[in-house]
């Protein structure tokens, strides 16, 4: 055994068995769970689940598997079926509802995805689908039906996307997305980044990732080194929806990322039953600031099939945001936006002041 001082508690030592320490790759590979396994970890019976929130015991019928890494599950409150972290990954019968206006491709990304692995929707930015893998399956994910099988190019096929970048000098920023780009290996990320760095008009690398929050162990020395070596500006946009997601391990991951010179921002999705109150959003913004992250966007739900039960209507969203604006300094107020198909930018939704 080894003894290590826990940075979150200076008065005691934490004893860790070497055979109990798991790599981020092991934690990632162990993220897929059955419903029974997830409920067991949280001391919730199947009956309580089915009876209390219209839970879906027939997860075999789901088109979107349950996935959540152990570090994220450990932050959930045991025995609480309404825990806001649990609700983000817990399948409900309502996912089978057919809701008018909800589709499998709410942003019509297929219209901008003519080259495998690349989506070019906004003039100056191009998005790379780096991987289909993700550490967590958020039930509201707008890409839960995305055709990843058509967007997993080999290294040879990535040349098409790289050629596209070279041929479009208006593009000055590349966004890594997925899936979650940090679910990729360091070797793959390094290979791709080195080739993009050779394109003179690409000035900024932006990474959209949930892993620093749900699997902070992912922020290892090799990843930090490749970020350090990126020659231009770098922006990391994390995704956190609730203050309870952010613990000392997340802060440690953020601190390491900031040392690479990256700007760290957060985006949130406004979700019914999870963060649909000014108190929850204010607490999240303040907690983000505590760990050195600035709020960026608060997204209204994308109308993806299977997620309608998370939706907040515009009127309620504006009212909530007015309360947030009244309670926070401007630099901690995220912009309330909606992303719409075929628009040249996100649509800003002004609060009801």
Q: CA-to-CA distance for 310 and 290, rounded, in angstroms?
A: 28
**Across the chain, what does the average pLDDT equal?**
90
pLDDT of 53 reads 67
d(C-alpha 311, C-alpha 43), whole Å: 28
Per-residue pLDDT at 264 exceeds 50 = yes
347-348/233-239 β-pairing? unpaired
- Is the pLDDT at 58 greater than 70, yes or no? no
Contacts of 223 (CB under 8 A, 6+ apart): 182, 186, 189
206-227 pLDDT tens trace: 999 999 999 999 999 999 999 9
Higher pLDDT, 55 or 179: 179
Does domain 109-348 sit in CATH 3.20.20.70? yes
Maximum C-alpha span of the chain: 59
Give the integer Cα–Cα distance in Å for 107 and 111. 9
Residue 5 has pLDDT above 60, yes or no: no
Choice between 9 and 27, residue whose per-residue pLDDT is larger: 27
Residues 6 or more apart whose CB falls under 8 angstroms from that of 23 comprise 217
Mean pLDDT computed over 229-237: 97
Question: Which neighbouring-strand residues pair with 299?
Answer: 269, 337
* Separation between Cα atoms, residue 144 and residue 63, nearest integer Å: 9
- Band of pLDDT at residue 109, cut at 50, 70 and 90: confident
Which residue is associated with the tokens 């068995």?
17
Domain ranges of the chain: 2-96, 109-348
List Cβ neighbours of 187 (8 Å cut-off, separation of 6 or more).
Answer: none
Q: Which letter, b or e, does each residue of 124-149 get, where b requires 16 or more Cβ atoms within 10 Å of its Cβ?
A: ebbbbbbbbbbbbbbbbbbbbbbeee
Q: What is the DSSP string of 70-91?
A: HHHHTTSPTT-TT-TTGGGT--
If phi > 0 it is left, if psi is from -120 to 50 it is alpha, else beta; for residue 5 that is beta
Give CA–CA dist 72/74, Å, rounded. 5
Average pLDDT for 104-132: 90
What tokens does 30 get?
Answer: 């162990």
- CA atoms of 40 and 54, how far apart (whole Å): 18
């Amino acid at each position: 055994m080894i003894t290590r001082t826990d940075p979150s508690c200076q008065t005691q030592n934490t004893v860790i068995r070497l055979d109990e320490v798991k790599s981020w790759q092991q934690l990632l590979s162990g993220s897929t769970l059955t419903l029974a396994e997830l409920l067991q970890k949280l001391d919730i019976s199947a009956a309580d689940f089915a009876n209390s929130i219209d839970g879906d015991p027939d997860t075999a019928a789901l088109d979107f598997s349950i996935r959540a890494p152990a570090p994220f599950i450990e932050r959930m409150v045991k025995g609480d079926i309404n825990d806001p972290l649990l609700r983000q990954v817990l399948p409900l019968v309502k996912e089978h509802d057919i809701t008018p206006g909800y589709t499998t491709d709410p942003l019509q990304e297929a219209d901008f995805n003519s080259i495998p692995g690349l989506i070019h929707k906004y003039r100056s930015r191009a998005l790379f689908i780096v991987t289909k893998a993700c550490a967590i399956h958020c039930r509201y994910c707008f890409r839960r039906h995305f055709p990843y099988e058509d967007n997993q190019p080999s290294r040879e096929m990535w040349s098409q996307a790289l050629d596209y970048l070279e041929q479009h000098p208006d593009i000055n920023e590349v966004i890594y997305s997925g899936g979650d780009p940090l679910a990729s290996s360091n070797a793959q990320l390094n290979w791709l980044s080195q080739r993009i760095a050779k394109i003179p008009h690409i000035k900024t690398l932006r990474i959209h990732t949930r892993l620093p929050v749900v699997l902070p162990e992912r922020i290892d020395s090799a990843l930090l080194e490749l970020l350090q070596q990126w020659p231009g500006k770098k922006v990391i946009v994390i995704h956190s929806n609730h203050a309870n997601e952010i613990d000392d391990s997340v802060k440690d991951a953020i601190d390491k990322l900031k040392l690479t010179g990256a700007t760290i921002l957060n985006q949130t999705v406004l979700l019914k039953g999870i963060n649909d109150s000014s108190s929850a959003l204010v607490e999240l913004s303040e907690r983000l600031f505590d760990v050195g992250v600035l709020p960026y966007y608060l997204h209204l739900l994308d109308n993806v099939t299977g997620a309608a039960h998370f939706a907040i209507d515009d009127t309620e969203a504006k009212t909530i945001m007015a309360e947030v604006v009244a309670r926070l300094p401007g630099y901690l107020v995220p912009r309330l936006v909606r992303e719409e198909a075929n628009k040249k930018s996100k649509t800003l939704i002004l609060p009801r002041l």
